[in-house]
Amino acid sequence: MIKRARVKTLKINRIDVSGKSGQTILQVARDAGIYIPTLCELDGLTDVGACRMCLVEVVGQRKLISACTFKIKEGMEVFTDSEKLQKYRKQILSMMFAERNHTCSVCVSNGHCELQAMAKKVGMNYVEFPYVFPHFDLDATHRRFISDPNRCILCTRCVRVCDEIEGAHTWDRMGRGIETTVITDFAEKWGDSETCTSCGKCVQVCPTGALSEKGVSVAEMAKQKEFLPYLKSNRDKK
Amino acid sequence: MKRLATIWLDGCSGCHMSLLDTDEKIVDIAKQVDVVFSPYVDTKEFPENVDIALVEGSVSSEEDLEKIKKIRKNTKMLISFGDCAITGNISAMRNLYGAEATVRRCYVEYDNATPPTEEIPALLERVLPIHEVVDVDFHIQGCPPPADAIAYALTELIADRIPNLDEITRFGK
């Protein structure tokens, strides 16, 4: 039986666009060449709206909504780059920087970091909230990898790739709000994890220097994310 | 002629090294400004009526605190110069442990010496980026900011224009 895609038309930034029923605002915007900033979203993983960078205004909605999780509707009007959104994105990004210790100059991911690049994209030249300076110890117990919570933005890409692609579900979140951390197994040392297959997918999808390979120095940790859409498309064919 | 001041608080002087790295461009800049205060000149007191002040480093001690307030009072355009000034950066890494632990580590644990109580300014409990203490008018990112970014930024600021550094520097550059 042929599945018929239902087409929906909507306006993004006053431009007429159309998408298939079930697509998100982000997908339709990308197809139309309209840029919406994202950090937690990654092609091949379920979208969760964790980072809030993709917040957009939808006419008739009182709250701002995340473009990566909100499905398109017929006749909807979306604004992706208003002054209000630009201001909020800077604030959201400022909070990510303020909540942890992202010391870019001495980070393994310096120059390859999506968080650092995002600061440029949204024009965040300084952090407008007081820095929290929390104290996190890094976990270097794994044979090949290091977890440094000081650089984590809680995007949960590691959690999702481990669960959805590798099928191990070693990673998960613990705690709430600013206290949240990502953990391995039951908040045990990564090196002691019985579920971790040491595949390294979490390291490669991590947008910052929070997860890295051992043996790399400052600015050497370039991530390879290409495997993910490749794996996903091959699996979708089955 | 614009009155330019440069100063470092809790920094490594790397940003000032990068300023010198502007090579021959520094000659053009020097022709357009009167350098009224700097580690490179011999004035001891931060002067009044400064047009542009490049402030490297973060606010880490009682002395830094006094200095930055005076700089703000006497300066039209205060520039956070480099990552330590803007984010705390390396200087602020001690915030994970606190001032007392830092002093103990440096003096007692490493050298079995008594931490000084005179002559050296007392550390603030927390290292702060400049904009958490006083208003900042412009930020030049980088650790250190590349020489080209500094030369371009200064040239523009001297001409009363706000430079766009998006393409030439960033945090950690």
pLDDT given at position A2:
67
Q: Does residue B88 belong to the interface with chain A, where contact is any CB pair within 8 Å?
A: yes
Q: Is 0.80 topped by the overall pTM?
A: yes
Task: Note whether B89 contacts A126, CB cutoff 8 Å.
Answer: no
Q: Does residue B139 belong to the interface with chain A, where contact is any CB pair within 8 Å?
A: yes
What is the number of other CB atoms lying within 10 angstroms of the CB of residue A140? 15
Angle CA(A46)–CA(A204)–CA(A44) in degrees, nearest 5? Answer: 25
Question: ipTM of the predicted structure?
Answer: 0.94
pLDDT given at position A1:
61
Residues of chain A with CATH 3.30.70.20: 105-111+133-237
The span from the CA of A99 to the CA of A51, in Å, is: 13
Å between A203 CA and nearest CA of chain B: 21
Are A172 and A182 spatial neighbours (Cβ–Cβ below 8 Å)?
Answer: yes
Q: Which residues of B touch A123 (CB under 8 A)?
A: 166
pLDDT digits 0-9 by tens, A21-56: 999 999 999 999 999 999 999 999 999 999 999 999
3-state SS, residue B85 = helix
Residue A16: pLDDT band with limits 50, 70, 90: very high
Q: Which residues of A touch B18 (CB under 8 A)?
A: none
Task: Note whether A116 contacts B172, CB cutoff 8 Å.
Answer: yes
Neighbour-count burial for A175-186, b at 16+ CB within 10 Å, e otherwise:
eeeeeeebbbbe
Residue A210: pLDDT band with limits 50, 70, 90: very high
Q: Specify the residue for token string 């080209």.
A: B148
- Mean confidence (pLDDT) of chain A: 96
CATH of A7-81, one of 3.50.50.60, 3.30.70.2190, 2.130.10.10, 3.10.20.740: 3.10.20.740
The span from the CA of A142 to the CA of A196, in Å, is: 10
Task: Note whether A133 contacts B95, CB cutoff 8 Å.
Answer: yes
Evaluate if residue A180 carries a pLDDT over 90.
yes
Give the contacts of B36 (CB within 8 A, at least 6 positions apart).
Answer: B3, B4, B5, B43, B47, B50
In degrees to the nearest 10, what's the CA dihedral of B34, B40, B44, B48?
30
Nearest CA in chain A to B80: A126
pLDDT given at position B97:
95
Q: Which residues of A touch B166 (CB under 8 A)?
A: 120, 123
Task: Note whether A120 contacts B86, CB cutoff 8 Å.
Answer: no
- Nearest CB to A104; choose among B83, B139, B166: B83
Q: Which residues of B touch A131 (CB under 8 A)?
A: 87-88, 92, 95, 129, 132
Are A221 and A153 spatial neighbours (Cβ–Cβ below 8 Å)?
Answer: no
- Nearest CB to A125; choose among B88, B96, B139: B139
Q: Does residue B18 belong to the interface with chain A, where contact is any CB pair within 8 Å?
A: no
Task: Note whether A105 contacts B90, CB cutoff 8 Å.
Answer: yes
pLDDT given at position B45:
95
A53 CA to centre of own chain: 9
Name the A residues in 114-173 with CB < 8 Å from any B CB: 116-117, 119-120, 123, 125-127, 130-131, 133-135
The span from the CA of A130 to the CA of A94, in Å, is: 9
Q: Which residues of A touch B143 (CB under 8 A)?
A: 104-105
Strand partners, A145: A213
Q: Which residues of B touch A106 (CB under 8 A)?
A: 90
**Could you write out the DSSP letters of every residue in B3-69?**
EEEEEESBS-SHHHHHHHTTTTHHHHHHHHEEEEE-TTS---S--SSEEEEEEESBEEEHHHHHHHH
Q: Does residue A97 belong to the interface with chain B, where contact is any CB pair within 8 Å?
A: yes
Task: Note whether B89 contacts A97, CB cutoff 8 Å.
Answer: no
Å between B97 CA and nearest CA of chain A: 8
pLDDT given at position A232:
86
- End-to-end Cα distance, chain A: 17
Q: Which residues of B touch A126 (CB under 8 A)?
A: 80, 86-87, 129, 131, 136, 139
Q: What percent of chain A has pLDDT over 90?
A: 92
What is the number of other CB atoms lying within 10 angstroms of the CB of residue A37? 21
Residues of chain A with CATH 3.10.20.740: 7-81
Give the contacts of A131 (CB within 8 A, at least 6 positions apart).
Answer: A97, A98, B87, B88, B92, B95, B129, B132
Q: Which residues of chain B have pLDDT under 70?
A: none
Q: Considering just the CA atoms, what is the radius of gyration of chain A in Å?
A: 19
Nearest CA in chain B to A127: B87
- For testing the chain A interface, which of B97, B136, B167, B171 should be mutated: the one with the most A CBs within 10 Å? B171
- Nearest CB to A127; choose among B87, B90, B95: B87
CATH number of A105-111+133-237: 3.30.70.20
Helix and strand element counts for chain B (H, E): 7, 7
Q: Which of A156, A155, A137 is nearest to A147 (CA)?
A: A137
DSSP-assigned letter for residue B129: -
Evaluate if residue A233 carries a pLDDT over 90.
no
Both structure tokens of B68: 């930055």
pLDDT given at position B117:
86
Which residue type sits at B83?
Answer: D
pLDDT given at position A188:
97
Q: Which residues of B touch A90 (CB under 8 A)?
A: none
DSSP-assigned letter for residue B141: -
The span from the CA of A56 to the CA of A141, in Å, is: 41
Give the contacts of A232 (CB within 8 A, at least 6 positions apart).
Answer: A43, A44, A165
